[in-house]
Amino acid sequence: MTLPAITPRFAALGEPYSLPIPARPLPTPTLLHVNSALARELGVDPADSASPSFAAIMAGNAPWPDYDARASVYAGHQFGHFVPQLGDGRALSIAEIRDAAGQPQELQLKGAGPTPYSRGSDGRAVLRSSIREYLCSEAMHALGIPTTRALALVGSPQPVRRETIETAAVVCRVAPSFIRFGHFEFWYYRREHERLAPLADQLIAQHFPEFDGHPDRHALWLTEVVERTARLIAGWQAVGFCHGVMNTDNFSALGLTIDYGPFGFLDAFDPHHICNHTDQGGRYAWDRQPMIGHWNCTKLLQACLPLLGDTPEAAVARAQPIADRYPVTYSAAMTARWAAKLGLRAFRDGDETLVNRWLALLASSKADFTRSWRHLARIKALDDGPGTGVREEILDLAAFDAWLPDYRARLRSEQSDDAERAARMNAANPKYVLRNHLAQAAIARAETGDYSEIDRLFTLLSQPFAEQPEHETYAAEPPPEARHIEVSCSS
């Protein structure tokens, strides 16, 4: 078996940024699924990805050639409270390579056993949560939202205790880098500020080469990350994705969606929806995600103040305009998203009211978020009909019937062609998302040894905007008994 050669980057920083920790082998591992398309992108031959040797590496039972698996240390603000030491408690970086296009990629096993940062836990992941992360990270990629990805899913009969006894699993996650906001917070709050620049410079050299060597490179990188984070969360809002645990240790220094735990996509639209039942105060509810993203960026900037000025005053003065880029960037990204979802070529004065009235209609009707947006593409600009399709999703018909003529008038103001606009809207409004009940159905089957639903969902969600008539039931609202599935941080 030939695998891409190692090109260490983060590992080259050495201790104390990370420690070499061998994975703990899984008993009787089974390769449940391989992302063949991603394997090819990484330069892994499809034949090799089906080999027993590859399965052993994906399980943590054998090392990637010439690389010592490593766990990194970081801190973080969790639900608003600072925790001075966290780290890779159940994740190990097993390789740093360059993919087939020459881009840096890091592979990480989640669930490969305990590390010095496990805080007394077993370092394992369970099949339930591993299936959810495996499916959702690739679903988000297909939606065009920056994210970590998933290469392989391995299961094992090893028992793992959570709320009940479950079985173990490992996901191989892939990203250009897994460096988080919390990596910088760790060194800042320990007052080991001399550790910040090597970490930032390594990140910049590999992933922001346009800034490498620039005297203002740290400010340029931070500005880019703040803006990427703002655009990322606009993407989340537009597809109804709720992260569930927006702690700073779960935020990527590259602006990626990272750490799929108690996530969820909106079904019946409630702007205050909380997808994580352990989030008692609703800190990470859907409508608060944009604000939390900004707050997290200010924590990253605070941790990087020593990189921005020779005095505290100078550093704060340099950081403030960077922080101010978040609301500006988010607003521009969000209005562009709403315009695309409504089929408008550009966002004009008055369109915000049109969007807010539509969202209020969805909320008052508890209408299905994904289906309602998708059905809007069926509206005809010059037709005074009732809006068949979307109207059936709405309970407050009087309010809808008052909104629809205003929407049609706005479409006519652009001389909108119905067919062309519908195609654009269907490329902005997915038909399929990973609803909780769909994930749960795949989990339930997998727990009996039937992994076919994992493959079926994986294939379906790789084309979320396409009409797939043979899978129409996957676009339906959840059945009544599945509308209140709860997920928690153990998910």
The set of catalytic residues is: 249
Distance CA 134, CA 121 (A): 22
Shortest CA distance to 258 belongs to which of 155, 434, 136, 428? 136
Read off the tokens for 116: 């010095």
Distance CA 115, CA 20 (A): 10
Residue with tokens 């979320």: 464
Share of the chain residues as helix, strand and coil, in percent rounded to the nearest 5: 45, 15, 40
Read off the tokens for 318: 């340099």
The angle formed by the CA atoms of residues 455, 461 and 465, to the nearest 5 degrees, is 150
Residue with tokens 């990596």: 183
Distance CA 44, CA 37 (A): 10
Shortest CA distance to 235 belongs to which of 173, 142, 324, 149? 142
DSSP 8-state code for residue 23: P
The angle formed by the CA atoms of residues 68, 130 and 491, to the nearest 5 degrees, is 120
